Amino acid sequence: MIGKPGLTLYGLFIVMALLAAAALLLGVAVSSILVLLLVYAALAYSINFITGMIGYVDFGHVLFMAIGSYVLATLVSYYGANPLLGVGLGALLGLVFALGIGLVILRFRGVYFAITTVVLVLAAYNIVLQFPQLGAGGEIIVNLKFQPLATYFTIWTIVLIEIVLTYYVNRSRIGFGIRAIKNNEDAASSIGVSPRTLKLTGYMLGGLFGGAGGAVYAWSISGVTAGPAFDFTFSLLMLAMIIIGGVGTSIGPLLGAVVVYIPSYFLLTTVAQAQPLIIGLLVIIMALFLPDGIVGLLRRSNEHLRLVLE
Amino acid sequence: MVAAELIVTDLAFGLMLGCVFSVVAHGLNIIWGVVKVVNIAHGEFIMLGAYGAYFLNLFAGLTPLETAPVDAAIGLLVGYAFYYAFLHRELRNTETITLQSEMVTLAATFGLSLFISNLAIILFTGNPVGVNYSPGTLQFGYLHVPIAALYVAILSVLIITGTWLFLERTLIGSTIRAYAQDVTATELVGANPAKVASLATALGFAVTMAGGALLTVWIPVGINPLMGALYAPISFVIVVLGGPGKMWGSLVGGLTLGVVIDVVQAFTTVEIAYAAAFLILIPVLVFRPEGLLKR
Amino acid sequence: MQAKPRRLATRTTAIIVIVIVALVVASSGGVYYYVNYVARPPCASATSGNMKVGFTISLTGTYNVEGGKSLAGIQAAASWINDNGGVTVNGKARNITLDYYDDQSSSTLVPQLYTKIITQDCAQFLLAPYSSALTGAAAPLAEQYNRVMLSHGGSSDTIWTHGYQNVFGVLSPASSYFKNAIDWLVANNHSGDKLAILHADDTFSTAASAAAANYAAGLHLDVVYNDKYSATTQDLSTQLLAAKAAGAEDLLGGGHFDDGLKIVHQLSSVGWTPKFISLLVAVTEPEFQQQLGGAANLVTGPSQWETIVTYSPATAQAANIPWYGPNETQFVNYYSKQSNAGSPTYHSGEAGAAVVVLADAIQTANSTDTTNVRQAISNMHIMTFFGQFKVDATGKQSGHSMVLVQWQSGGLVVVAPDAVASGTVKYPYTGS
């Protein structure tokens, strides 16, 4: 670890504390909104590991979300398991799949990697449709007693772990190596960084937390259906969140989740399409003019902020 | 036991479908090959081409065959606009696309894809529509071939051949090919890289939108704002199979995909056929990343 | 690669971006807070004024046709009830108010919207969305927040296998959809016909088609082809060809509205003319015939209800069952007052019936409490313009009967069962 923890980490802890308090004090109506915010944040942090930090654009990240959702749904629905077990196993399976897939596809560069992730999602969707045990085209219902706080604090804990992990990775020697890869992968290997290991680690972390987030998502909506589970909209939203917030940063994913989700909740019942439209526009502007997102912009605009924001 | 007639019929359908897939992917191939940019919003332009066919059919009674040239003309304009909006800055002073610019264009075109598809939902509503064009079927023994699919397949091959001729036999085309090989050298012999790149992009979009119009023949009720989500990955796989920049690659990739999807269905289920078609990408990328074509 | 020069000064851009983002987030938060905590205290209307019935409906997206018809049916029924004494609880008559949002045919939006409807809009009772898939996504919320939910557009039998206590269906379950068609084939000397079943892979179509396959096999009909396709598959030619190659003469299946169109379109392009076709959902919509023209002629389809059926207070009296709600003429009349309604189809009828049944249950229970109302629904056996209503122990509908309809010379005719038919099935299908 390079240096003592900075203001960013403490600031994020304060935000998380506020989110916890909100759920406990403001009632079910508020916590039902915030739980989805936390799910989005968890997914944003998970894609941040592979896309934000390492620079490999994972359009197919929804695959891990789907894995987590299916694991939780089948465990709870067929075996009556505790949903927390579902979350744990969902995360584990996400990790395992990421390892297996990553070993094959992480050797593809840039665009080829991105396309392959897309293809994998489509293939996985079609394969899942074959199995009636996985609901085929229908849904697997998770019939549990309503436990809003349990769900909420599970995802809250996951996000907290991700924040700490992201922060420490960025501050550590691993982070140094990761940034080297993002800049120029070939040069990085010549100075002693091992791209293979780091890329795989990043992808596996993405799979781990993507699976965890997906499992909690299935828990919160009481089920999983094939079509929506593999819907690219999630991947695209996750990408949008980190692009808007700031790729690779510790604050970025959470900030991006807030910017993407909160207005969308409000717009949901008025002009529901305005939200993805605005997000698309924001992403275009960010990509062309502000590739390091809001956090990057703030850091570049002011010396003090540059030292404080990560 | 699978009847031979079924396999032959599926093969015939697969080839015709494959031709349309080829032209749909061809625009992406041109842009990727020349300007080295992958347009994530490719599917959305296919969708716009399809809606073009729908509206021209609705208001002017045009068939998809007649709409294709109109869509192509629109595509040219759109392509120029796209180039100057997105690519000009990145390409102006560079020799090739770097990883940073690659990420920028991936991210920007991804944002564009979100924007266009949702704008389409607002403008056209999410309701699926279709174009009614059924000039009948031809019968060869037990084989019933829909005439619409045949026309569209022929037109697709003509378009691909046409672009090949343009690139091989005209001066402008040669300049584009030179640009694809080496930008600086092209500049040295007096060509304006911006003009070349913008023309190539415009050409790519023209072909894409024409392809979208021709595609409507195969999707009688499937024109909807989100259809790009299916046809973009199909296009990507096709271009990688054939090799980006190789004009005939689109045909090779498209036919392969069409045949795999339709013939595999004779033996297993539709879903496995699609999964197989998509997963072909991985061994190709591992063992022969430059594509299936030799040169 | 060196960094590109920025067009605007970084600080200015930063300030602009921050201000915009802050404005967007703050205004959303501010409006939300105002609307929910200042302008209207949460759920105060629970014990006064109107009866709020909340639901989502598919006004856009794949189910927009069926969703639009359902919404108009709901509005028609609610208007009639409000004009005829409202819903009386404890001596006080209350009007029904409808609280609904467009779910865009997306099951991802359904849970969020229902959460909002229940926790913020304070709906006391719920209707399910259109389609079994979306109903499946909405039902858990009825259980979580303990509200009665009536399903009008979700018929898949699986909905009632999860032990839900608050979810009840007004429509006949999916497993009964093809019964009339198969019965007709057997009764009219066509049990030698070879059947092909091709259906969409969503839960409703799968349930209906699987039940059809079992029922047909049980009656010794030969099912030579049975397959499904996923929602994204646009091209069914290879599957239709495979069915034809297997020797099939009749075709059952489909999915929702678009699926019916897809199948009939592609039948002509692959050159197969089955002798008998029965397709889910699509056939009963006037648009089916408008878009397909001659090819729609003689296609049959199962229907939950048609405007010409003969349920009336007199029939109810003869059968010794209580009657409630508008009769056919009144319902059609109120329906025509809704904007963009077109003509009522069975989707309109089933949705309207849900409102009618709910109102009667609340009055019978004389309470707005969930436990009392669901008890009333479980014990009810009544007749409405839509037919009989009686649920089994799981909440699935058991009293309602379906009909079979067929397009003949540009008009929809009820052809089975004999008791309510106004015409007979014309066989075979000719494709024009």
Is residue B130 one of the residues assigned to a domain? Answer: no
Look at B270 and C233 and tell me if their CB atoms are within 8 Å. Answer: yes
pLDDT band of residue A273 (cuts 50, 70, 90) is low
Which uninterrupted H or E stretch holds A139? strand A139-141
Q: Where are the domains of chain C?
A: 49-172+308-400, 176-303+404-416
Supply the angle between the helices B228-242 and B270-279 in degrees, to the nearest 10. 50
Q: How far is C268 from chain A (nearest CA, A)?
A: 27
Mean pLDDT of C403-413: 92
Distance from CA of C55 to the nearest CA of B (A): 20
Residue B235 within a domain: yes
Identify whether A1 is part of a domain.
Answer: no
Domain of residue B210: give its range: 4-124+142-287
- Which of C64, C232, C270 has the CB atom closest to B144's CB atom? C270
User: Which chain B residue has the Cα nearest residue C201?
Assistant: B271
Q: How far apart are CA B105 and CA B83, in angstroms?
A: 11
Question: Which residues touch C212 (CB under 8 Å, ≥6 apart)?
Answer: C177, C178, C179, C181, C182, C197, C252, C253
pLDDT of residue B98: 54
Q: At what angle do helices B42-60 and B4-35 cross, to 10 degrees?
A: 110
Residue B159 domain-assigned? yes
The verdict on residue A50 lying in a domain is yes
Q: Is B133 within a domain? A: no
Is the CB of C60 less than 8 angstroms away from the CB of B144? no
Q: What is the pLDDT of residue C4?
A: 47
Contact yes or no for C230 and A142 at CB 8 A: no
Q: What is the pLDDT of residue B37?
A: 86
From the number of C-beta atoms within 10 Å of its C-beta (0-12, 13-18, 19+), residue B208 rates as buried
In sequence order, the β-bridge partners of residue C387 are C384
| pLDDT digit string, tens, across residues C196-234 | 999 998 889 999 999 999 999 999 999 999 998 887 777
pLDDT over 50 (residue C2): no
* pLDDT reported for residue A47: 95
Considering only A2-6, C78-82, C118-122, C371-375, which range has the smallest mean pLDDT? A2-6
Please report, for the domain that includes residue B158, its CATH number.
1.10.3470
Distance of alpha carbon B52 from the chain centroid:
16
- How many independent structural domains does chain B possess? 1
Q: What's the confidence (pLDDT) of residue B100?
A: 62
| Tally of structural domains, chain A | 1
Residue A30 has a pLDDT of 82
Show the tokens assigned to C196: 């092909």
pLDDT at C32: 63
Residue C1: pLDDT band by 50, 70, 90 thresholds?
very low
Domain that holds residue A112: 7-308
Q: Residue A292's pLDDT is what?
A: 83
The confidence score (pLDDT) of residue A308 equals 74
pLDDT at A181: 81
Tokens 């229907």 label which residue?
C303
Looking at every residue in chain A, the average pLDDT score rounds to 87
pLDDT at position A272, please?
64
Residue B97 has pLDDT above 70, yes or no: no
User: Which CATH fold topology does C176-303+404-416 show?
Assistant: Rossmann fold (3.40.50)
CA dist., res. C14 & res. C22, Å (int): 12
Inside any domain, residue B55:
yes
B140-171 residue pLDDT tens: 877 888 888 899 999 999 999 999 999 888 88
**ipTM score for this prediction:** 0.85
**Structural contact between residues A22 and A34, judged by C-beta atoms closer than 8 angstroms:** yes
Q: What integer is the mean pLDDT of A103-114?
A: 88
Q: A212: domain CATH number? A: 1.10.3470
Mean pLDDT of B31-52: 92
Residue of A59, A128, A61, A99 whose CA lies nearest to A197: A99
pTM for the complete prediction?
0.87
DSSP for C63-122 reads: THHHHHHHHHHHHHHHHHHHHTT-EEETTEEE-EEEEEEE-TT-TTHHHHHHHHHHHTS-
CB atoms within 10 A of CB C86: 18
Q: Do B146 and C233 touch (CB under 8 A)?
A: no
Share of chain A above pLDDT 70, in %: 98
Identify whether B78 is part of a domain: yes
Is B295 contained in some domain? no
Of C115, C140, C201, the CB nearest to A32: C115
Specify the DSSP element, H or E, that contains C300.
strand C300-303
User: What is the rounded distance in angstroms from the CA atom of residue B185 to the CA atom of residue B187?
Assistant: 5
Higher pLDDT, A179 or C399: C399
Residue B136 lies in a domain: no
Residue in chain B nearest A130 by alpha carbon? B271
A107 is a domain residue: yes
Q: Can you list the positions of beta strands (E) in C122-281?
A: 125-127, 149-151, 167-169, 194-200, 222-229, 250-254, 276-279
- Other Cβ atoms closer than 10 A to A302: 14
Q: Decide if B115 and A280 are in contact by the 8 Å CB cutoff.
A: yes
CATH number 3.40.50.150 given to C49-172+308-400: no
Q: Which amino acid is at A112?
A: Y
pLDDT tens, residue by residue, B176-232: 888 888 878 888 878 888 888 899 999 999 999 999 999 998 887 788 888 888 899
Q: Is A231 in Cβ contact with C203 (below 8 Å)?
A: no
User: b/e map of A131-166 (b: 16 or more CB within 10 Å)?
Assistant: eeebbbbbbbbbbbeeeeeebbbbbbbbbbebbebb
DSSP 3-state assignment of C315?
helix
pLDDT of amino acid A71: 94
B114, A283: Cβ pair inside 8 Å? yes
| C408 DSSP 8-state letter | E
B45-80: per-residue pLDDT in tens?
A: 999 999 999 999 989 888 888 899 999 999 999 999
Q: Is residue A83 pLDDT above 80, yes or no?
A: yes
Quote the CA–CA distance of B50 and B216 in Å, as a whole number. Answer: 6
How confident is residue C277, by pLDDT bands cut at 50, 70 and 90?
A: very high
Closest alpha carbon within chain B to C247: B3
Which chain A residues contact residue C158 at CB under 8 A?
138
Do C49-172+308-400 and C176-303+404-416 show the same overall fold?
Answer: yes
* DSSP bridge partners of B138: B145
- Read off the tokens for B210: 């024409």
